[in-house]
Chains A and B, each alone.
Chain A
Amino acid sequence: MEFAELIKTPRADNVVLHRPFYPAVEGTLCLTGHHLIFSSRRQDNAEELWLLHSNIDSIEKRFVGSLGTIIIKCKDLRVIQLDIPGMEESLNIASSIEALSTLDSVTLMYPFFYRPMFEIVEDGWRLFLPDQEFELLSSVTDEWRLSCVNKEFTVCPSYPPVVIVPKSIDDEALRKVATFRHGSRFPVLSYYHKKNGMVMMRSSQPLTGTNGRRCKEDEKLINATLRPGKRGYIIDTRSLNVAQQARAKGGGFEQEAHYPQWRRIHKSIERFNILQESLIKLVEACNDQSHNMDRWLSKLEASNWLTHIKEILTAACLAAQCIDREGASVLVHGTEGTDSTLQVTSLAQIILDPRCRTIRGFESLVVREWLQAGHPFQQRCAQSAYSNSKQKWEAPVFLLFLDCVWQILRQFPCSFEFNEQFLLMLFEHAYASQFGTFLGNNESERSKLKLPQKTMSLWSWVNRSEELSKFQNPLFEANSLVIWPSVAPQSLQLWEGVFLRWNRSSKFLDEAQEEMLNIINYNKELQAKVNALRRQLAEMETDDKMLKSL
């Protein structure tokens, strides 16, 4: 298919662009296969707006006489308006945008066409491979091994080709366990806590069904992670009720009788459309400036967004607490083990492991616990808050995770190497990107699409020093402690950087941020200077002494 077929009117003049907090500008609108490009005619201030079609969540069109108005709502929550003269042109452009922003085929997406203008120093596709991760692990323990049982994605389609499992469990057993777990997601290692050797594993629900099926290999596998005489915790991210209901559909939970060394805790974390609706309601509330205080607060409450944040954070804290404070190993799962499970395991690592609070470490965490772990990004991020069609698979699971990280970052502003911008960037790229990183739903799909060969990795771009400097937290001071965030409602806040970003001018806040940077940089400068002068003086003094002693 040629994009040209979809573009009936590639260009329109005298288009007026309206954006919040900016004066309206007149200019030319161009449509290409992947971008909507607006450039102002004014010479003095030749402004250009490049918008990826894939970033467009929904569009609305209106007509007043022959003047067409298109309102474009983006997945990054921005809303812009274009006034286009001419009925036909407007209609053509609107239908082109609609078609181009909802392309079915992944291979038509921009990452397959994008040619980077920068030199690739380090290929992001080759970073964060499981082997490297395992190497780190084997330097502290020899109880684990790399298994290639899933080499051709034959055992579990949503797992990567290699996974880390207890050494004592062979591949044959793994195959059997896979048949006992939803989507074949057998328990694998998620995190090893060096401090006390406790581990966190993740899986999907066991397929116990109504008649209480059991699987000896499954029991053996997870028991292999326990120290003699020790207990472990299973954190089920569903309520007990939901878990019980799952049995009717062949799913279920670990029976106490078959797993006597494990204690199960149910922490209810919402899924799918409930989360999507929550996002839609929250964005609706934030976008309406006319709300009086009562209405705003009740809308904020009704969205339940912060409730979800609290639930997820609490579950993650609990997992971290079991590992660090109770000295127990933990298994986390919900139903599929691809959503709330990953929220809990990845956040627990942020709390426990200082490495995950560095830029590299966080990237590695996203790769391990989200991309390789098979979070279906393409399904979840197909639409964002402005989708009006009934959604089935969309859910802001990853955004909620980023929001939780932001909450912890706010409480421990010096403990993270990255800043809010970094989280914001990941949010944007998860929904629409020129890079291939977040395409596909799991490693199997990615390998079929040959993404590493055909597209550029987000990490190749981010990890260049020019880009990296934007994402660095100037206050960072490595801190090897476990950081326990507060989950009291008074401590949780709306993530304004995402949800109010387009709804208010942040000029004064940005300027203040800049001033803060100035102070920090000036401090470094002064300290360097003082040290240099000290050294100079000391040298002079020793010279003097030598002169005198001569």
Chain B
Amino acid sequence: QVEQVKLLDRFSTSNKSLTGTLYLTATHLLFIDSSQRETWILHHHIAAVEKLPLTTSGCPLVIQCKNFRIVHFVVPRERDCHDIYNSLLQLSRTAKYEELYAFSYNPKQNESEQVKGWQLIDLAEEYKRMGVPNDYWQLSDANRDYKVCETYPRELYVPRTASKPIIVGSSKFRSKGRFPVLSYYHKNKEAAICRCSQPLSGFSARCLEDEHMLQAISKANPSNRYMYVMDTRPKLNAMANRAAGKGYENEDNYSNIRFQFVGIENIHVMRSSLQKLLEVSGTRGLSVNDFLSGLESSGWLRHIKAVLDAALFLVKAIAVESASVLVHCSDGWDRTSQVCSLGALLLDSYYRTIKGFMVLIEKDWISFGHKFSDRCCQLDGDPKEISPVFTQFLESVWNLTEQFPQAFEFNEAFLLQIHEHVHSCQFGNFLANCQKEREELKLKEKTYSLWPFLLSEQKKYQNPLYDPDFSPELTLLEPNTVSFNFKFWRNMYHQFDRSMHPRQSVFNLIMNMSEQNKQLEEDIKELEAKIKQRNGQPDTALVKEHQQSAPSVPVALKTPPCFKKEQPLIPVRDAVRTIEGSNTADNRYSEFVEEFSKAEPAVVSLEYGVARMTC
């Protein structure tokens, strides 16, 4: 506990600040300011801690979080600052999974609730919903003991004609053993999305079993014998891989395939792209042109567009040509997951529901071994493995929700909450890198699943404009990917910078209103019943008027907010109409006056050069 700590405003130029007390708990960093407002920061969310050079007012400490919150403290005594710094470094870097918050987090559930929670999403059920197994596709037991591929799930669906030797042979010819398997089956078109990793083709190597495998996939589609093989990498990268004995399919060796590169960059490019984006958006006194040119040079929106363009290519092959598509990148767990999951989302309206979206993430991301632990840096590891691949997926989905406001059952807050928990390590779902590791960690016994918690507060995540009939089942959602449709996701990257957001939210208002509508419908029913009753039996005793107003939510103080984290996007019911936070102090134009009203010298030129005063 350190007192008299100042929390600085990230974008302010004058040294405006809140003074309060900083507490360090086992799991959180807590700051309580003089007006008793609390800021909770989970240790696992901390991406970087930096100690800046000592100033006259104290020792500045900057904490960057994985949810894009940046806090800037000034600690009066250097020794305290040093202590906090060291503690945070230790607490935010965990060496073992067992030390993560999920293993100590206890949401007061009993064991059967915990088990039921984990059973909420059942992938076997999901494949059944898609229509497999069927005449063409079957469940394979080849990987039942993770013998063929360690990073795949136990249960895999493959073409009926793909025998075990073919599977094993093919897996030996694929990077990390990730052979082609079913990711999504389109009932109406009888076409499939399959996924795998790159072939170990080098410059000339071939593998008959792998060729058989692809043939089996194309034969499993009676509507179109041709199939597409999509390599989601830029061609240059794929070619470079050949020198390492990897590479891409040679069209001559495979019958009936059409090969296509779609050019999504690799995890390292994406990591530095996000870094640049954050640097630009975090600049104080940013001009419009610096923002736009920074946005451009970061390449971030270009990458998002590339991901969506790839998904669009995939779904067109399926919806228009009824052709099956095999998707891969290098290892088949980053770009492949993005493209397969977005493709399925565009093809199948089920994935646009709250539950369906959870299923989609469980299937294409968690079960197929997207390396959440490495990519999100859950344990102290190789910084070169960190990459915002999943964030890009969420951002692509957000872009779709912007273009199709009625197509999704969930809202932006849902995406943000998932992003929050992918990094929080509070629930077991996203821990570790693959299913095998998760089983070894006994996550289902020792931790809780995120999904039942999200479902229990579904109301917060519901899109009031959702129209289940917006697109009938299995009709394609076709986004427009012209560049101007892609916007900077302010609510993600500035989630905690309140002054930048609209001060009144139409969305919240509509959400509350549609919530209120349900309540009103109930009230009407009740009132009508009472009136009817009265008319029938005029002698009944007086019935107390039904109380209509919603009970106010008690604020639980001093408990780590598992879900009661600050929700800048979802203020409480009545706060919507007040314009909190709209004051000059929050905005940057304010500081000119503040400063020059104090300044008396004849010529003052202010920091930005925006306002200038002369005599």
Contacts and interface: CB of A to CB of B under 8 A. Distances in A.
Interface of A: 239-240, 256-257, 263-267, 286, 289, 291-298, 300-301, 304, 306-307, 309-310, 314, 317-318, 321-322, 324-326, 410-415, 475, 477, 479, 481, 483-494, 500, 503-505, 508-509, 511-512, 515-516, 519-520, 522-523, 526-527, 529-530, 533-534, 536-537, 540-541, 544-545
Contact of B503 (A263, A300, A411, A505): A411
Nearest to B298: A297
B517 A318 contact: no
Interface residues of B, number: 81
Contacts of A304: 288-289
17 contacts: A294-B296, A297-B296, A309-B288, A325-B593, A414-B509, A481-B579, A483-B579, A484-B590, A488-B499, A489-B286, A489-B291, A504-B482, A504-B484, A527-B520, A529-B520, A530-B520, A540-B534
A489 B403 CA distance: 22
Contacts of A493: 487
B281 interface: yes
A297 B290 CA distance: 11
Given A307-B289, A414-B506, A488-B286, 15 more contacts: A289-B482, A293-B299, A317-B590, A325-B593, A412-B582, A481-B582, A486-B499, A488-B499, A491-B490, A491-B501, A492-B288, A504-B482, A515-B465, A523-B520, A537-B545
A328 B344 CA distance: 60
Contacts of A264: 613-615
A544 B484 contact: no
Nearest to A493: B487
A464 to B, nearest CB: 27
B345 to A, nearest CB: 16
A246 to B, nearest CB: 14
A503 B484 CA distance: 10
Interface stretch (B155-163, B427-435, B523-531): B523-531
Contacts of A310: 287-288
Interface of B: 11, 281, 286-293, 295-296, 299, 301-302, 305, 403-407, 464-465, 467, 480, 482-488, 490, 494, 499-506, 509-510, 513-514, 516-517, 520-521, 523-524, 527-528, 530-531, 534, 538, 542, 545, 548, 577, 579, 582-584, 586-590, 592-593, 596-597, 610-615
Contacts of B464: 519
Nearest to A528: B520
Contact of B583 (A256, A475, A484, A537): A484
A409 to B, nearest CB: 10
Nearest to A489: B291
Contact of A483 (B403, B486, B503): B503
Contact of A540 (B486, B500, B531): B531
Nearest to B590: A321
Contacts of A413: 502, 504-506
Given A307-B289, A414-B577, A475-B509, A293 B302 contact: yes
B584 A325 contact: yes
A76 to B, nearest CB: 18
Contacts of A297: 292-293, 295-296, 301, 483
Contact of B587 (A477, A486, A540): A486
A49 B565 CA distance: 54
Given A504-B482, A523-B516, A301 B589 contact: no
A371 to B, nearest CB: 28
A143 B216 CA distance: 91
Contacts of B500: 486, 488, 490-491
Nearest to B297: A294
Q: Which 8 A-B pairs have the closest CB atoms?
A: A512-B405, A489-B291, A256-B615, A296-B483, A301-B292, A297-B296, A526-B520, A293-B302
Contacts of B404: 508
